[in-house]
Amino acid sequence: MDYEIVIGLECHVQLLTQSKMFCGCATDYDGAPPNTRVCPVCLGLPGALPVINRKAVEYTVITGLALHCQIAEFAKFDRKNYHYPDLAKGYQISQYDLPLTRQGWLDVEVEGQTKRVGITRVHLEEDTAKNTHLGETSLVDYNRAGVPLMEIVTEPDLRSPEEARVFASNLRRILRWIGVSTGDMEAGALRVDANISVRPQGQAKFGTKTEIKNMNSFRAVKLALEYEAQRQIDVLEHGGRIVQETRGWVEGEGRTVSQRSKEFAHDYRYFPEPDLPPLVLSSTEVERLRAQLPELPEARAERLMARYGLSQYDAGVLTGSRAVADYYEAAVAAHGNGKAVANWVSGEMFRLLRGATLEIEAVPVSPQALAELLRLVDDGTIGISVAKTVLEEMFATGQRAGEIVRAKGLTQISDQDQLRQVAADIIAANPKAVADYRGGKPTAVKFLVGQVMRATRGQANPTVASEILEQLLNESNGRQPS
């Protein structure tokens, strides 16, 4: 039987604020000694009162706007009650029935098809403490407890693990783009949980779902959901029933395992948080925040395609982050040729960044410096292969292209006489390639051009070298090379 996979995501996003959601404790807990970013509020001491972090509310509204959500005119916080030491209060402050934003969408493109995925809601809550297990006890560090956490819930609109992966990746791009989160999955700044079920193709009713956690990378999202879909199909094919439960992805074993909670029945007994007055968002305030939204990645990609004639693929790569797009456009402004700059940024520059595991924010070559290098190529001072070497040098030393070319004497050789001498030597040294050429293999000249390039340490103008080689080969046709 054919099955349809149905997936909805719940993404938790740590916001890039200086202080926690309801108190002034710093959010820089990463690497800090345990329980040193803690105060009476996030420790739940009697009498301590929470106060809402304005920035976190603004970031959530901005995220809602970027995801085409409706912004609530009236929102409030609620207590989600549960007994678990990851929050000292005995409840998490979250939003239940009146979240800040709801009903938006985000497009994903999979295999050339664009699909609109509904966003159910984006709400604001607080992160929990970190637990580690030590024998018969657990250790609790409250540094993370109370860090602003935004929850983004999708409709069950995703139909494959690949769609889920692309959605998560697009969402991360937007979160980073608008500057509300690092989106770092490994560090836990973006945590993607999934609800997944399968149903026979054509059946209207959803199957029983399971919730999958612990997916710490986009790859893990795809692998875990592929595994889980197949597991559910196998259970059904063998006449079994799916148990609604939470399952954790075990990366090392490549499978999901049941995570039975001690709590036998969840009943969070939500009620309005009496310590926090509600939020009333005026349209003036919402419009003020909307005005802060930068041009979003998809709109920017469209513009790059229209303005610089980029392919959809190139435009996608160059809008991978806002910093990349800014770098690209600054280089185009300094150079002029959008297509050439696109090739250099997405090709050589990305290769060097990957090699050095750097983000473009830290690139030692300014957009203006890249433009200078490309101008040296344009005016024939250096060829492409030398330019690549020069870029490596610029990347390593931060020197400008002109200095490197002068210091190393890398100016391209287009001089006919000089190249004719080199070409003659190469012809003499490569009888086999010469014989191939004369035997009717014109492509053999490419090999000889390569040898000229090598002999001149990449400085020969390859077009001129090729012309001279063919000229010499044809001139001396019929004669044995000396």
Partner 1 sequence: MPLDLATVEQVAELAKLGLTDDEKARFTEQLSAILDYAARLQTLDTSAIPATAMVGGLENVMRPDEARPSLSQADVLANAPRSHAGQFQVPAILD
Distance CA 55, CA 58 (A): 5
Nearer to partner 1, 24 or 254 (CB): 24
Q: Residues 235-274 vs partner 1: string with x where CB under 8 A? A: ------------------------xxxxxxx-x-x--x-x
Beta-carbon contacts of 66 under 8 Å, excluding residues fewer than 6 positions away, are: 174, 177, 178, 293, 296
Instruction: Tell the smallest beta-carbon distance from residue 27 to partner 1 (Å).
Output: 7
Instruction: Tell the smallest beta-carbon distance from residue 219 to partner 1 (Å).
Output: 22
Instruction: Tell the smallest beta-carbon distance from residue 96 to partner 1 (Å).
Output: 10
DSSP run (H or E) holding 197 = strand 190-200
Distance CA 119, CA 379 (A): 51
Instruction: Tell the smallest beta-carbon distance from residue 220 to partner 1 (Å).
Output: 17
Instruction: Tell the smallest beta-carbon distance from residue 213 to partner 1 (Å).
Output: 9
Distance CA 292, CA 103 (A): 21
Interface residue with partner 1, options 5, 6, 9, 56 (CB under 8 A): 56
Instruction: Tell the smallest beta-carbon distance from residue 214 to partner 1 (Å).
Output: 9
39 binds partner 1 (CB under 8 A): yes
Q: Residues 125-154 vs partner 1: string with x where CB under 8 A? A: ------xxxxxxxxxxxx------------
Nearer to partner 1, 118 or 248 (CB): 248
Task: Tell me how far apart the terminal alpha carbons of the chain are, to the nearest angstrom.
Answer: 74
Nearer to partner 1, 33 or 252 (CB): 33
- In Å, what is the CA distance from 319 to each residue of 177, 218, 323? 9, 18, 8
Contact criterion met (CB below 8 Å) for 276 and 76? yes
Nearer to partner 1, 145 or 325 (CB): 145
Contact criterion met (CB below 8 Å) for 229 and 161? yes
Contact criterion met (CB below 8 Å) for 175 and 60? no
Nearer to partner 1, 33 or 202 (CB): 33
Of 149, 161, 144, 217, residue with least CA distance to 185: 217
Structure-token pair, residue 392: 């490596």
Give, in degrees to the nearest 5, the angle at Cα 211 between 150 and 118: 55
User: Within a 10 A sphere around the Cβ of 183, how many other Cβ atoms?
Assistant: 22
44 binds partner 1 (CB under 8 A): no
390 binds partner 1 (CB under 8 A): no
Nearer to partner 1, 86 or 326 (CB): 86
Interface residue with partner 1, options 55, 68, 290, 303 (CB under 8 A): 55
Structure-token pair, residue 175: 């979160």
Candidates 112-120, 193-201, 222-230, 278-286: pick the segment binding partner 1 (CB under 8 A).
Answer: 278-286
Instruction: Tell the smallest beta-carbon distance from residue 144 to partner 1 (Å).
Output: 12
Interactions with partner 1, residue window 74-133 (CB under 8 A) = 76, 83-85, 131-133
Beta-carbon contacts of 25 under 8 Å, excluding residues fewer than 6 positions away, are: 19, 37, 38, 39, 41, 42, 146
Instruction: Tell the smallest beta-carbon distance from residue 31 to partner 1 (Å).
Output: 14
Contact criterion met (CB below 8 Å) for 188 and 14? yes
Distance CA 212, CA 196 (A): 8
Structure-token pair, residue 45: 């001491």
Candidates 30-38, 407-415, 447-455, 473-481: pick the segment binding partner 1 (CB under 8 A).
Answer: 30-38
- Site size for partner 1, by CB under 8 A? 56
Interface residue with partner 1, options 4, 10, 12, 35 (CB under 8 A): 35
Structure-token pair, residue 457: 């340490």
Distance CA 101, CA 60 (A): 8
Candidates 29-37, 119-127, 407-415, 422-430: pick the segment binding partner 1 (CB under 8 A).
Answer: 29-37
232 binds partner 1 (CB under 8 A): no
Nearer to partner 1, 37 or 222 (CB): 37
Instruction: Tell the smallest beta-carbon distance from residue 212 to partner 1 (Å).
Output: 15
Beta-carbon contacts of 204 under 8 Å, excluding residues fewer than 6 positions away, are: none
Instruction: Tell the smallest beta-carbon distance from residue 123 to partner 1 (Å).
Output: 15
Interactions with partner 1, residue window 8-27 (CB under 8 A) = 17-19, 24-27
34 binds partner 1 (CB under 8 A): yes
User: Within a 10 A sphere around the Cβ of 352, how many other Cβ atoms?
Assistant: 19
Distance CA 270, CA 164 (A): 30
Nearer to partner 1, 43 or 369 (CB): 43
> Which amino acid type is present at position 117?
V
For residue 443, which phi and psi values (nearest 5 degrees)? -70, -15
Contact criterion met (CB below 8 Å) for 328 and 344? no
Instruction: State the residues that interact with partner 1 by CB under 8 A.
Output: 17-19, 24-28, 33-40, 43, 51-57, 76, 83-85, 131-142, 259-265, 267, 269, 272, 274, 276-280
